[in-house]
Structure 1
Amino acid sequence: MSMRVTFLGTGGAVPTTERNPSSVLVNREGDRLLFDAGEGTQRQMMRFKTGFTISDIFVTHLHGDHVLGLPGLIQTLDFNDREEALSIYTPAGTEEDIDALVHAAANQPSFPVHIYGVGPDEAAVRRDDYEVRTFRTDHDTNSLGYALIEDDRKGRFDREKAEELGVPVGPKFSQLHEGDSVELDDGTSIDPEQVVGDPRPGRTVVYTGDTRPSAKVAEISEGADLLIHDATFADDRKDRAADTGHSTARQAGETASRADAARLALTHISSRYAGDVSDHLDEARETFDGEVFVPDDGETLDIPYPDE
């Protein structure tokens, strides 16, 4: 089952010609989930050919570089004759502000838009085999992060072992893999644990939005396949990061290290660093041994299962 992350906007509050404000799209087997919608997000979606069939938008907080793309995106969806309902999740208490953005410039969408206020430590979305959980972040406003967490998958079915035990090829294989015992023609009972391995972990992608270093982020990111973390500044602006509710690249690396994440994406890069992110990479790598990168706008990343 495929999972692809597209970095639509990787810049900080001030956009540059190379980096749009914050937005990340996750395509999980056709479920397109958008995290934040900075100014110009709809154009980025066209530019990088992600399609507009998003089902859910997850807002981390109400600073402009994370939400000013909503009015344009909603109107673009309307112009494309969308009919399906769109769900927007936002920190509890900010629903009216999001509603105002949705209806900016007297816009009245022709499709249903449902706005849900969510608090920390909730399942904002629960689907058949994954959920999107919220967690508190340490910014200077009402803010949340989001973690897409897949359920464990079934263990591997040992066909060879099943045949050795006398299970005939056919429906009984499926019954065992679904967790049901089967009875053979001679009356022997075969239990699933005899032919099915231990459950296999799903994938986890964590998106922090803007945040200072936080133990909560490290906790929910434990073993994450991808941690997308605020790294607005390098060490040269460490004090500025603390004052404004952001992290440095080194601090993001420390968080990823505590979480034992597999990969770390450094985002929300301040415009003061222009095209040179070498310090970000060097400083994060001093504290984190996993894969570290600063994605460019439009960069895509396929997320494999941990056992692949």
Structure 2
Amino acid sequence: MNLEAFILGSGGMMPLPNRHLTSVLLRREGELFLFDGGEGTQVSLKRLNLRWKKISVIFVSHTHADHVTGIPGLLMLSSQVDRDDPLYIIGPPRIAEYIETSRRVLDMYINYEIVVKEITEPGIVYQGDGFHVRAFNLRHTKPCLGYVLEEDRRPGIFHPEKADALGVPRGPLWSRLQSGETVTAADGREVRPEDVLGETRSGRKFSFVTDSLAFPEIADEVHGSDFFVCEGMFERALEESAREKKHMTAEQAAYLAKAAEVKKMALIHYSPRYTDYDLKQLLKEAQNIFPGTILTRDRMVYPIEYID
């Protein structure tokens, strides 16, 4: 089952010619999940030839303009195609007000159901087939949420020699065992999945954190992530400014990644003060702490693989 992250926008505060505002799209076996929708989101969706009608849920971190101004256009765009399934929008308090006001003032034509859910307590906010999405509180100038999409554990590796030894004939019964179902062997004995499968294996974990002070509990929330997207808005020299604005530096993000033992961290939400060349300084400072750091770039695609 494929799991891919598409960086639709990597900038913070204001869009630049080659850097749209923060937005990440996750594609899991054809189903799409959008995390924030800054200005320029539609442009990257179009350039990447992604099917926006397949977006199931939009997860919003907070209601600052650089994270939501791309959403109204996306809602109107989705009315240009047939859509049977509802679109869920999940975010902090006042996201419902923002969506409703945008629809009313812009006189939007919407031909599908929009379901808005405001999160007031951390925890699981969405569940799908084989995965769930959990929200947790960040520390910004207004209510702000981080998100983790985590897959369920997978069955262990199937050992055909064990199935043969237990008298289970090759064919549909093997598939049923691999799906977690108990079957009956040729001699009438019941054979359980655990009789022929190895230890269960982990699924994949994606985490999204932006616009927050760095604090230790973030590492607990994103621990073990295969792909951790985290803001790295400023260099170390601007740490005081970052603290005043309730943001974090690339170096602080790296300390979180190290403590959380993530597989890969991707910096995002850069201050517009940094040119593409200047971003090398952010990367250097982060990699000194956590070597598995990369810079996100608009329209970058990152496959998230099973560790085994």
Structure 2 CA distance for aligned equivalents of residues 44 and 183 of structure 1: 52
Q: Is the 8 A contact 2:166 2:185 kept in 1?
A: no
Per-residue CA deviations over 1:184-214 (Å, capped at 9, x if unaligned) read: 3434443332211111100000001211112
Q: Which moved more, 1:24-33 or 1:165-174?
A: 165-174
Matched with 1:193 is: 194
Alpha-carbon distance in structure 2 between the residues aligned to 1:191 and 1:242: 55
Establish whether residue 285 from structure 1 lines up as the match of residue 287 from structure 2.
yes
Moved more, 135-144 or 210-219: 210-219
- Name 2:79's counterpart in structure 1: 78
Q: Is the 8 A contact 1:13 1:21 kept in 2?
A: yes
Residue matched to 1:28: 28
Q: 1:136 maps to what in 2?
A: 137
| Distance change (3 Å), C-alpha of 1:145 and 1:231 | same
Please list every run of at least 4 consecutive aligned residues from structure 1 whose deviation after the TM superposition is greater than 4 angstroms: none
For the residue of structure 2 that corresponds to 1:97, the secondary structure is helix
Alignment of 1:250-289 (within 5 A): 250-275=251-276, 276-289=278-291
Structure 2 partner of 1:215: 216
Equivalent residues of 1:87, 1:116 under 8 A apart: yes
Residue 43 of structure 1 deviates from its aligned partner by 1.8
Amino acid at match of 2:5: V
| Matched position secondary structure for 2:242 | helix
Using the aligned pairs only, state the percent identity.
35
Residues 38-57 of structure 1 aligned to structure 2 (within 5 Å): 38-53=38-53, 54-57=55-58
Deviations 1:103-133 (A, max 9, x none): 4422242222111112342222101200111
Is the 1:233–1:248 contact (alpha carbons within 8 Å) kept by the matching residues of 2?
yes
Indicate whether 1:97 and 2:92 are aligned. Answer: no
1:10 aligns with 2:10: yes
Give the letter for the 1:99 counterpart: E
Q: Displacement of 1:93 after TM fit?
A: 4.3
1:70–1:101 Cα contact (<8 Å) kept: no
The whole-number CA distance in structure 2 between the counterparts of 1:24 and 1:244 is: 23
Match of 1:297 in 2: 298
Could you tell me which amino acid in structure 2 is paired with residue 12 of structure 1? Answer: G
Measured in 2, the distance between the counterparts of 1:236 and 1:41 equals 31
Q: What secondary structure, in the 3-state scheme, does the structure 2 residue paired with 1:199 have?
A: coil
Which residue type is aligned with residue 283 of structure 1?
E
The residue number in structure 1 matching 2:237 is 236
- Whether the 8 Å CA contact 1:40–1:72 is kept in 2: the answer is no
In structure 1, what is the Cα distance between the partners aligned to 2:191 and 2:40? 58
- The corresponding residue for 1:65 is 66
**2:39·2:66 contact (CA, 8 Å) conserved in 1?**
yes
Going from structure 1 to structure 2, the CA distance change for 1:29 and 1:103 (only over 3 Å counts) comes to farther
- RMSD over equivalenced CA pairs, Å: 1.6
3-state SS of 1:111 partner: coil
Q: Secondary structure at the match of 1:228?
A: strand
Is this contact kept in 1: 2:167–2:187, CA < 8 A?
no
TM-score by length of 1: 0.94
SS at match of 1:106: coil
Asked whether the 8 Å contact 1:99–1:115 carries over to 2, the reply is no
- Alpha-carbon distance change, 260 to 169 in structure 1, aligned in 2, over 3 angstroms: same
Q: How far apart are the structure 2 equivalents of 1:103 and 1:203?
A: 39
Asked if 2 retains the 8 angstrom alpha-carbon contact of 1:4 and 1:28, the reply is yes
> 1:82: Cα distance to partner?
4.1
Q: 1:71, 1:103 within 8 Å by CA — same for their partners in 2?
A: no
What secondary structure sits across from 1:261 in the alignment?
Answer: coil
SS at match of 1:33: strand
Could you tell me which amino acid in structure 1 is paired with residue 95 of structure 2?
T
Q: Deviations over 1:137-161 (max 9, x none)?
A: 1111111011111000111110122
Change over 3 Å in CA distance of 1:138–1:178 after alignment to 2: same
Q: CA deviation at 1:83?
A: 4.7
Could you tell me how far apart the structure 1 residues matched to 2:248 and 2:42 are?
27
Q: Which runs of 5+ in 1 are unaligned?
A: none
* 1:224–1:261 Cα contact (<8 Å) kept: yes
Following the alignment from structure 2 to structure 1, what is the Cα–Cα distance between the partners of residues 165 and 59? 50
Q: Which moved more, 1:179-188 or 1:103-112?
A: 179-188
